[in-house]
Amino acid sequence: MKKVIWTLIVLGVLGGLNLLPFHADDVAGMLPVKTVFITRSGEEYSVDVGAGVQAVGRTLSEALERLREESPGKVFLPTAEQIVLTDPDEDTVDAVAEETAFRPAAGICKTHLPKPDAKALGQYLEAHPSEYTILDLRADLLTGTPTASPLVFQVDGGFRFGR
């Protein structure tokens, strides 16, 4: 019985000091993300998750960290279903492959549209998700195979996948 009491006391003290390895989040304050737009211009990465929530950093990790810090709620990136690389280069592709904030099953695609309509493209990708995932990208980079992420074009006011 003494062990149980001491265990509860220790847990109470650790909980009061916020040192427990788990914590609760208010669901109302979370911003679930469906589509992430990543742009690299010069030496900066820009990350846009829609609804006016975006951030810039020298690296992709720094941009994502700023996104988490500066957003009005808690940005929840593991819900991202699609990652869109605008004007991608090899460094951007490598940065996305190395980033651990995204789940490996998230689809990835590229576009050369300078400023795609995030809402419209997000809706298109919900209906027609990219089957090429971050996991596929990582495997291609490890084996030296050319990456096969689909390219999104704007056609007649809509969007279409192509190569």
Query: Pairing mode, if any, of strands 44-48 and 107-111?
Result: unpaired
pLDDT digits (tens, 9 = 90+) for 83-98: 999 877 888 888 999 9
Residues above pLDDT 90, as percent of the chain: 25
Provide the residue ranges of all domains of the chain, joining segments of one domain with +.
25-162
CA distance 121 to 84: 9
- Which pLDDT tens digit goes with each residue over 147-156? 888 888 888 8
- DSSP label of 49: -
Return the exposure string of 15-44: e unless at least 16 CB atoms fall within 10 Å of the residue's CB, then b: eeeeeeeeeeeeeeeebebebbbbbbeeee
User: In this predicted model, what pLDDT tens digit does every residue of 45-62 receive, in sequence order?
Assistant: 999 887 778 889 999 999
* Gap between the Cα atoms of 43 and 58, Å rounded: 6
pLDDT, position 158: 84
Task: Give the pLDDT mean for 24-30.
Answer: 59
Asked whether the whole model's pTM tops 0.85, one would answer no
